[in-house]
Structures are given as structure tokens and as C-alpha cells.
Amino acid sequence: MTESISAYLVRRLQEEGVNHVFGVPGDYCLTLFSEFERSPIQIINTCDEQGAGFAADAYARINGIGACVVTYCVGGLKAANAAAQAYAERSPLIIISGAPGRRERLRNPLLHHKVKDFDTQIRIFRELTVGTASLDDPLSAADEIDRMFALAKRHSRPVYIELPRDMALAGIAPATSGPLPPDSSDGEALDAAVEEAVARVSEARRPVILAGEELHRFHLQQPLAALVERSGIPVAATILGKSVFPECHPSYLGVYGGALSLESVQRYVESSDCLLLLGAMMTDVNLGVYTASINRRTSIYSAKDRVSVGLHTYDDVRMEDFIAALSKHDWEKRRFEPFDHPRHPGPFVPADRKMTVAALFHHINAFLDKNMIVIADPGDALFGASDLFISDGAHFLAPAYYASLGFAVPAAIGVKAAAPKLRPLVLVGDGAFQMTGIEISTAARFGMNPIVVVLDNGGYGTERPMLDGAFNDISSWRYAELAKAIPGGRGFEVETEREMEAALIEARSNVSGWSLIHVALDRDDRSSALKRFTAKLGERARGG
């Protein structure tokens, strides 16, 4: 019996390691949902398509590839924001959308969900992905599916696949095109780049590695660790790359982001006479709103497909090949100037004082263990969390570049599906929670146990110091009482340090369901990192 297009698509997802898909059904994709239901892949229905996209993005960041399944336009365009974030932050997300059948499109009728033309949605996704495909031809569908998966993995960025509903059950022809050509380095350029980089590092008095998020995306943590073990070079991480290198390692400095950094980290990194930037995206947040001091002449920069050593650029040099070569070099082991190594904090001793942002992160730091993954939403949830100590084996996840509010709660669902042994600890502001916090309902339905900490300062605390106004205020919710509306969870109201300690202890013991801790904070209380960040960003927001 000939395999159908939808069956082939589902089978190929399985072969790529996708065991869960996230989405919301609609009439243009019901046949595809039915195909998933007959397969070993679990469908996780979210409350909203943007939530499905965020969950699939987080799943991809942990699993290596993730998939979101939606209906035409009303679903796909809701997921477009998640696709944009996945593109910006290099996450291999597969967006699959149903669409009107080919025969339905004859004479250009005004079908429901249509926007302008029948190809409006696919044209939009061309701007948000590294590849798009419409599976409207059984002869080429298999090749197109395989090509999309290969592009997503090669570039660690999203792709878009559109399936007209009258093609879902059509018989598919075997794939004929074969794999994409190997993505390999130019040998001479690689050798020259490595030779010059080794010479620079060997001559340097204080080399430092700045490790970024692309090492996560292209699974280069082990080559990085090998390089550090052989060379002894100290390592800092960007905020987007936090946890890419074990924070318990004696060579780890901390998070570097210019003025956003701890003073000791900033001082050590900026005194380096040879900075190796490995997989670090040069975004405004990673660079502390461009307060980072990076001298291009004394830096070595390795991105996905090129290397720069000082002012010399070597094209067609793949990051993985460059780092692998450095990790195998016979480095002379040297002792570098000592630095303040981050250590796991001791127990936090609470008092009957009112909760503050500083006390909150002291509590969280003492609470974390190796079985947790911290997922932080943009805002003080992110900036305050940048100095948390992430245990070896644990992870830190945050959209610190594209910075779409509302990522963290649905991301916890994707993370838990991808790594069931990890427990998500979600840090989210009240404004972001009001956007997508209802996805706790999805976590409850599928028996997941995230701990969600809502930082409630009554509005958008990141924007207030830039330009204050009533437009930054939001409605007050009784967040903890969601446990009465959504089964399987527990809610905690926190106003003091002692209440915070008790809530965390009880949330940890609630292993069978979700927990929400509502932390009441003063309107203008914010972390020192956020104060530094908004002081710089505020100048731009006000047109300065």
C-alpha cells in the first residue's frame, strides 16, 4: 500500500527524534492530526497557537528539533511570532500548517481564514524561516519534506511546511533527491584560521573565552569543554548562552554582558588581551546595550560559517570544525590570574521582611538543584536570573535576544516533554504571565509539574524606568487562585521572605502537579542588572 503524504511526514518526524508535537486543531489540518493520533507521537494540545509555537521552540532547544502543527492563517499567523523568535535565536522549529485543498482554490473563492491570496501565509513565513514548502505535488512531497528537515538542522532555524488538506491522504512518491551536500569547511582556510588563532592565544597574557548560544544550538558543549580542559583558558558566557558551560567548573567566570555583568566578571573579561568569542551573537542584550568593551583587533570571533582573527576574516570555516581543531591542539598548560569563581550559594536565612527582588533571587539561588531547568521570561525575571548558579547537568533557557514576553510558561511544557527528568522552574513577570499563563492548563492536562514564580509589580517593570506612564500598568490578578480554577495545582501567596521559603519547600514536594507562587513586589523594585540595562535602553526609548 502506498504511503500517504501525511503518513510520510509523521514518520520522518519520528525518525528525526520528534516524540511530541504541539498545536491546536482546525478544519484544514484535522486529517493530519488524525495521522498523528495513530502514530507513537504524542499530540500536546495547547490553549493557543502562540503557546504551541513557544512550547515547540523550547522542545527544539532541548531535543534538537521540534514541531508545531496549526491550521491555516488564523493558526499559522498566531504561531508566526514564535517562528520569528526561533529564527532570531537559532532554534530548529518545524511549523506545519494545514491549508485549503487545491480543488477548493479554483476560481479564487473567499474561503474562511483566507487573508488576501491563498499563498499569503507561505509568503509571510518566507521572511521568518530558512525554507518553505507546499506539499501540493505527490511526486515532490517526500523530497520537499526531507529538504525542510535538513535545512532546519543545518542552520538551526525554523522551516515552514504547508499541507493542502486534499493532499494529506494522497499517495506519495519515494524521495529521489538524497541528502544535502555536506556543509564542510574550506580546508586551507580552516588550517590558516586555526594557525593564526593558536598563535594569538599562545602569545596572550590573559586570554578569555566568551561562550555563546550557538554552541548550544549546534551541540558544541563537549568540544568547548575539551578546549578548556586542554588549555585552561577561563570562560564567561553570554546571557543568551548561559549554562552552555558548566558553572561549577573552576574555569568558569560568570555571565558577561558589559555593564550588566557582575563587576568582577566585567573587569576580568575587559582586561583580556585575547578574547575568543565562540558562537556568541552580537546582540544589544548580549552586549549590555553595547556597554561591552570588545576590541576587534585583539579578538577571535567564530560564528556558524566564518572565523575572524583580529581584522582577518576566513570565510567557509565552520564553527564546529574550528572549535574541534582548537580542542585537539596540544596547548601549553598555563596558570592564569585568579578570579572570583561563582560558587553554589549556601542556605538563605529568611526573615519577616517584605519580599524584594534581591531576596527573591537569593531564595531561588539556594533552592535550585541539578534536576531543575530555569526558564526565564524577558524582564527582571531574566536579568535577575542571569547571576543564578546553574548546577552541572541543569539548564537555563530564556529568549534573551528576540525577547518576546510570554515565552516561559508554554516553554515549560515543551521542556518537560523533551526532558521528563528535569523540573521546570519558571520565572515570569505579571505582564508576561497575563499573555500566556493560561498554558498552565495544558501542563495540568498532561500531568506536568512546573513551578511557576510570578514576579508581580503591577505592570511592565522593564519599561517604567525608560519612560513611565499609566500605559505600563496592568490589571491585578489573584494569581494563586488559579489553582482553584485549574485542577492539579497548588497556589501560594507570598509577601515576606519566610512565606517565600515555605512556598518553595511546599512546591518542591508537590511533585505530582504544578505550583504557582505569586510574589508581591513593590512597583519600583528591580534588580541592579535591570537598573543598568534600562538606564542605557531608556536613552534610546526617549529618542536620545
Q: Which residues are annotated as a binding site for Mg(2+)?
A: 430, 457, 459
d(CA 197, CA 189): 12
Residues 381, 429: contact at Cβ < 8 Å? yes
Give Cβ neighbours of residue 181 (< 8 Å, ≥ 6 apart): none
DSSP classification of residue 3: P
Pull the grid cell for residue 333: 598548560
Residues 432, 405: contact at Cβ < 8 Å? yes
Alpha helices, DSSP H only, in 460-496? 482-485
Residues 135, 161: contact at Cβ < 8 Å? yes
Pull the grid cell for residue 325: 581543531
Which residues make up each annotated binding site?
430, 457, 459
End-to-end alpha carbon distance in the chain: 67
User: What is the side-by-side strand order in the sheet with 299-302?
Assistant: 252-255, 235-237, 207-211, 274-278, 299-302, 306-309, 312-315
Residues 540, 474: contact at Cβ < 8 Å? no
β partners of residue 45: 23
Rg (alpha carbons) of the chain, rounded to whole number = 24
Maximal CA-CA distance, the chain: 75
DSSP letter for each residue of 165-216 = GGGTTSB-PPP-S-SPPP----HHHHHHHHHHHHHHHHH-SSEEEEE-HHHH
User: Cα 70 from chain centroid?
Assistant: 21
d(CA 6, CA 169): 6
User: Cα 461 from chain centroid?
Assistant: 22
User: Measuring CA to CA, how many Å separate 445 from each of 134, 184, 251, 436, 507?
Assistant: 33, 45, 43, 16, 18
User: Cα 332 from chain centroid?
Assistant: 36
Q: At 371, which helix (H) or strand (E)?
A: none
Give Cβ neighbours of residue 426 (< 8 Å, ≥ 6 apart): 375, 376, 377, 408, 409, 411, 412, 450, 451, 452, 453
Residues 270, 263: contact at Cβ < 8 Å? no
Residues 407, 427: contact at Cβ < 8 Å? no
Residues 261, 269: contact at Cβ < 8 Å? yes
d(CA 262, CA 255): 8
At position 440, the amino acid (one-letter code) is I
